[in-house]
Amino acid sequence: MPGDSLNTNNSAAPVYGTGFSASSKPVPTIDLETDQTDYSAVSTFVILTILGLLMLKNPLFRFIRRKQVGLILNQYDWFYHSILEKNIPYYSKLSFEEQQRFLRRTVAFMKSKRFHYYDMKEEPHVPLLISAAAVQLSFGLKHYLLKEFDTIHVLSGNYRFAGLPVAFEGHVSESDIFISWESFVKSFEDYSDGNNVGLHEMAHALSKVNAGVDTPEDELFAQLFKKFNQIARPVFYEIQTDPYSFLGAYAATNMYEFWAVCVEQFFERPQAFQIHHGRLYEAMTILLNQDPLQPQIILEPIDNE
């Protein structure tokens, strides 16, 4: 601000800057040249500091997150591992190293969300398992936090919503994810029927943060999702007239539901999916960078961990 760099040369004519009043007493003069130079130095410093912070922001946040996750896992590693191994078939098939990565991501995801519970008790396995469903879907991607979704609402059973006549197992709004806990548990208890509300809603959330938005959370996924849609659209049209298609009638509702149903089938019935829709299955493996039919599920290593 004016006055930071004053040249106190009393012999010079008074200069009345902001906040100075005219009086007979000599007032310090401002050397405009020196003052401009200093402002420029201050501005440069501020700009460089801001740029530096912006450049550091992501690595810094990642570093802090890793530390926090590490501290939590030091204490709960075995407890969380037991819950995931018992309830998430995908997790139980991973190698030891992949399980460690899965655990880290699940805790990071869980800690980044607020969970609200309705007609049920808050228990540690609930947010852990819901987070695991999101991590399973995005396990081959670089970015997985679904940052736009900061709140997950967990309802004890299926619920009515917006005056609609059907009961919901889950849905996704602009910034919130809603899940019926009863349906979520059933989904993972029967992991071969192609119905999984956890994976289904996370699929909606994942496409929402990446598809058709200016700044996708995962740039690569956003690009590949366009290619996936090119392969998916003809199949979507094809099943409109086939009520007995492998993907089922609900997949024919719209492209949004088609994608979420593909995710359910991809993880729960990969072999049958590949037989019925080979090209579409392959597009899913490329898009998600994983193949449930391969012993080493993740196809390309992820470089930020």
The residues, any chain, with a CB within 8 Å of residue 12's CB and separated by 6 or more, are: 29
- Binding marks (x or -) toward Zn ion, 182..211, rule CB under 5 A? ------------------------------
- The residue type of 48 is L
Show contacts with Zn ion in window 247-266 (CB under 5 A).
257, 260
Q: How far is the CB of 268 from Zn ion (least distance, A)?
A: 15
φ and ψ of 177, to 5 deg: -115, 135
**Is residue 177 at the binding interface for Zn ion, with CB under 5 A as the rule?**
no
**Residue closer to Zn ion, measured from CB, 94 or 288:** 288
Distance (Å, rounded) from C-alpha 17 to C-alpha 1? 11
Q: How far is the CB of 202 from Zn ion (least distance, A)?
A: 11
Q: How far is the CB of 190 from Zn ion (least distance, A)?
A: 19
Show contacts with Zn ion in window 61-100 (CB under 5 A).
none
Distance (Å, rounded) from C-alpha 201 to C-alpha 133? 9
**Residue closer to Zn ion, measured from CB, 91 or 210:** 210
Q: How far is the CB of 69 from Zn ion (least distance, A)?
A: 30
**Residue closer to Zn ion, measured from CB, 260 or 283:** 260
Helix axes 278-288, 219-239, angle to 10 degrees: 160
**Residue closer to Zn ion, measured from CB, 94 or 196:** 196
Q: How far is the CB of 199 from Zn ion (least distance, A)?
A: 11
Radius of gyration of the chain, Cα coordinates, nearest whole angstrom: 28
**Residue closer to Zn ion, measured from CB, 61 or 250:** 250
Judge whether 106 and 132 are in contact, CB under 8 Å. Answer: yes
Residue count at the site for Zn ion (CB under 5 A)? Answer: 2
Helix axes 125-137, 255-268, angle to 10 degrees: 100
Cα–Cα distance list, 25 to 13, 14, 20, 172 (Å): 11, 9, 11, 70
Distance (Å, rounded) from C-alpha 248 to C-alpha 254? 12
**Residue closer to Zn ion, measured from CB, 39 or 256:** 256
Distance (Å, rounded) from C-alpha 84 to C-alpha 102? 10
Helix (H) or strand (E) holding 138: none
- The residue type of 284 is M
Q: How far is the CB of 197 from Zn ion (least distance, A)?
A: 9
**Residue closer to Zn ion, measured from CB, 124 or 157:** 157
Residue closest to Zn ion, measured at CB: 260
Q: How far is the CB of 291 from Zn ion (least distance, A)?
A: 24
Judge whether 195 and 170 are in contact, CB under 8 Å. Answer: no
**Residue closer to Zn ion, measured from CB, 31 or 182:** 182
Q: How far is the CB of 90 from Zn ion (least distance, A)?
A: 20
Residues that bind Zn ion (CB under 5 A): 257, 260
